[in-house]
Chain A
Amino acid sequence: EVHLLESGGDLVQPGGSLRLACAASGFTFSSSAMSWVRQAPGKGLQWVAGISGGGASSHYADSVKGRFTISRDNAKNILYLQMRTLRAEDTAVYYCTKMLNNVVVPAYNWFDPWGPGTLVAVSS
């Protein structure tokens, strides 16, 4: 059974940094692209970033480009999201999710399953 578990969420001041981690098990981690999706309190879902199975290719939402970095350690089966220059609008539950394919694109792709999420709160 595929299992994803996020960690690292915390309360951080605006302008601060935080690194999220997602421990994966139950599948061949290096064969699956992975993504981070976030959900602000009471709001909808927003895709944040995705990375290919081998880690060579990554994609970002415009709102986090240049501030967030997605990476992975395929030897440890861990996905990361390094977040810098955090803003109040980054406050959200961050979900780690597995993608169908080894790449973030092509189009025949979806998010399944999802971890339970970790809360990031950006506030002074």
Chain B
Amino acid sequence: DIQMTQSPSSLSASVGDRVTITCRASQTINTYLNWYQQKPGTAPKLLIYDASSLKSGVPSRFSGSGSGTDFTLTISSLHPEDFASYYCQQSYDTPFTFGPGTTVDLK
């Protein structure tokens, strides 16, 4: 199975901050990497697919990059509604696997 890791596991930030979350795969997955946002008590929502493609309707302050084994999710300027957990997920092969998540909370 492809193992996914994320760093940091949590971070504290302020509105307006630039936030970067890193995701690493245990083997190359090309660009088959997706990012999801989850708020407490709700289902995850797709933000970024294929490593860097922004889902329609997602604010442009979100961006993704990377290929191979190393990927990043960047929020250019944190908004109050962005405090949430973020998960990366590889779709290179089954079983599909998720990173353990990164929680972004208010400093």
Closest to B1 in A: A62
Instruction: Give the size range of A's interface with the partner.
Output: 20 to 34
* A44 close to B99 (CB less than 8 A): yes
Question: Knowing A107-B32, A110-B89 touch, does A50 contact B46 (C-beta < 8 A)?
Answer: no
* A111 close to B89 (CB less than 8 A): yes
* B91 close to A61 (CB less than 8 A): no
* C-alpha spacing A115/B50, complex, angstroms: 22
Q: How many residues does chain B have at the interface if contact means C-beta atoms less than 8 Å apart?
A: 28
Which residues of chain A are within 8 angstroms of B93 by Cβ–Cβ distance? 105, 107
Which residues of chain B are within 8 angstroms of A60 by Cβ–Cβ distance? 95
Q: Is residue A47 contacting chain B, with contact meaning CB distance below 8 A?
A: yes
* B99 close to A111 (CB less than 8 A): no
Which residues from chain A sit less than 8 Å from chain B, CB to CB? 35, 37, 44-47, 50, 59-62, 95, 100, 104-105, 107-117
12 contacts between A and B (CB under 8 A): A45-B101, A47-B89, A105-B94, A107-B30, A107-B93, A109-B32, A110-B49, A111-B46, A112-B46, A113-B43, A114-B43, A116-B42
